[in-house]
Structures are given as structure tokens and as C-alpha cells.
Amino acid sequence: MATKKVNGVNLYYEIHGAAGDKGDIVFLNGVMASASSWLEQAKPFVKLGYRVLLHDFRGQLKSEKPEGPYSFKLHAEDTIALMKELGFKQAHFIGTSYGGEVAMKTAMLFPEKVLSLSIIDSVSELDEVLTGFVLGWKAIARLKQGELFFNTMLPSLYYHDYLVANKALLEKRAKGFNEIPEDYLEGQITLYDTFIEDVTMTEELHKIKCPALVICGVNDILKPLKFSEIIARGIENAEYLTIPNCGHVTFYEKPDALNSALIGFVLKQSLK
């Protein structure tokens, strides 16, 4: 739980568990998330004997936020450089949304480092609806009003059932956004620009040769099923799984179903 300077930028990271025979897991965040967002997924892997690396990308909550925009190649290079500094030689990569897109780019550029790939609610191209959502977030972020920003995001991120069942929790989280660091929303704007300008990679998916699992919430309206289907078709022999009654934020909405899928897929790789 510290920072490490790689590629000229201080990145926040956490290591959970110890190095051992099982191997290593690298989790990669969604654009609005942070390392702590993965704790419910990290815990079972640590119990199974894996070592887990979490970190915030450049531009995210606890990492440095240099001027951008960045690129997915740069995020991949940062991740590999951080792994090298911390003694992670290879790992199973698990990424959600923006993090899934970084994971795919990493598998393309550094195939020797990626043992397997689990891609959750991600895309390899844009459409006008997704672009419109992100441009809207960018406009709201410029107002620098944390609670308004959070509440504006909610309908595009979470399925109706989760919103109803967790109303009090989400209201508390919204108020907590009034206390976020001043540079958080500035970092978000930079990351949104990076996403819009650089996420297109469908024509490169064939470069991914490692075992891959593609997961999508059935009710994800931000990055709907069609995008995961494109990814699953583009990666040779990829497995494809949908989670019902679930929106975009799968690790919060359906953590048990997600953990079953991720653990089963990663463990299966050791049987090959």
C-alpha cells in the first residue's frame, strides 16, 4: 500500500497475499474506480494462495495525474513496468471496463506477461450512445461538484434492481464524493479523453493468443452485450459469459457470480 515511480509517474499500488506456487493476479480498474474497488474479488484469490496486485492508473484517484491525454499502450507499459519493479514476472489479468481495455492492450503488446485474460464489461470500439455518455460525464466533471457528478453517473452504471435495493448506500457514497481530492475530477476528464481517442482496437483483437474469458452484465446499457460479443468473436477461442439482472458495475452488483466465473476460469488454466 504505497506508491512506486514508473515511467516518470508515481503509481499507487497494493499487494495482497504472498508469492507462491499458485501464481499472480493483476486486477485493472474501471475508469471511475480505484484499487480498493477490487477487494471482494482479491480476497478469495488470496485465500487460494495467489498473490494479487492492485493499482490506480495514472490519472486515477491515488496515482499521479500528469497532463494527458494518455493512451492504452501507455497504461499497458505502466502496468508492466510496475510489475517488473515489484517482482511480478507473469500474471493472470482481470480488468473491468477501462481496465479490461488496458488488459487487452497489454495482452497484445506483452503476450509473454499475460497468462490469461478476463475482460468484464469492456469494449474494443465506440458507438454514438457510448460516446455521448462519456462526453456527458466530461461536462459534469468540469463543474467540480462531486455529489452531482456521482448522481449523474448512476443511471448509466447500475441496473434498476441494484439502484432500488441499495438506495441508502448509494446516497451515502454520493455525499462522500463531496470529499474527494480536487484533482480527482481533473484526472477523470483526462481519462475520458483517452478512452474516446484511443479505445478502438477491434481489428487488433486477433493478436490476443492467451486464454480469454469475456463477461458482460445482461442489463449493461453503457457498454451493452454487443460490445462483449465483438470482443469474444475477435479473440480466438474466447469464452463468453453473461450475468443476468446486472448492469455495468458487475463487481458491485453481482460479486458472487463474478467471483465464481473468475476463480473457475483462472483455476482451470492450471489444469492445462
Q: For residue range 231-268, list pLDDT tens digits in order.
A: 999 999 999 999 999 999 999 999 999 999 999 999 99
**pLDDT at 21 exceeding the cut of 90:** no
Residues of the domain holding 221: 2-125+201-269
pLDDT at 270: 83
Q: What are 174-222's pLDDT values in tens digits?
A: 999 999 998 999 999 999 999 999 999 999 999 999 999 999 999 999 9
Question: Residue 10's beta-bridge partner residues?
Answer: 5
The answer to whether residue 253 sits within a structural domain is yes
User: What size, in residues, is the chain?
Assistant: 272
The answer to whether residue 81 sits within a structural domain is yes
Q: How many C-beta neighbours within 10 Å does residue 244 have?
A: 10
pLDDT at 1: 65
CA distance 225 to 189: 26
31: nearest Cα among 179, 156, 195, 146: 195
Q: What is the mean pLDDT of residues 40-54?
A: 97
How many folded domains does the chain comprise? Answer: 1
DSSP 3-state of 261: helix
Output 1 or 70, whichever has higher pLDDT.
70
Q: How confident is the model at residue 271 (pLDDT cuts 50, 70, 90)?
A: confident
CA distance 52 to 43: 9
How far is CA 100 from its chain centroid?
Answer: 5
Q: Is the dihedral of CA 134, 136, 141, 147 positive or negative?
A: negative
User: Considering all CA atoms of the chain, what is the largest pairwise distance in Å, rounded to the nearest integer?
Assistant: 51
The answer to whether residue 144 sits within a structural domain is no
Contact 265, 239 (CB under 8 A): yes
The answer to whether residue 140 sits within a structural domain is no
The answer to whether residue 17 sits within a structural domain is yes
Backbone angles phi, psi at 53, to 5 degrees: -115, 125
Contact 72, 93 (CB under 8 A): no
Look at the block and give the residue holding cell 502496468. 79
Please name the residues in contact with 1: beta carbons below 8 A apart, sequence gap of 6 or more.
13, 14
Output 199 or 1, whichever has higher pLDDT.
199
Our CA dihedral for 42, 89, 72, 218, rounded to 10 degrees, sits at -40
Tell whether pTM > 0.95: yes
The answer to whether residue 260 sits within a structural domain is yes
Please name the residues in contact with 53: beta carbons below 8 A apart, sequence gap of 6 or more.
13, 14, 15, 24, 25, 26, 27, 82, 83, 86, 88, 91
Q: What are 107-163's pLDDT values in tens digits?
A: 999 999 999 999 999 999 999 999 999 999 999 999 999 999 999 999 999 999 999
The answer to whether residue 209 sits within a structural domain is yes
DSSP 3-state of 242: strand
The answer to whether residue 136 sits within a structural domain is no
Q: How confident is the model at residue 54 (pLDDT cuts 50, 70, 90)?
A: very high
71: nearest Cα among 187, 190, 222, 185: 190
CATH code for position 46: 3.40.50.1820
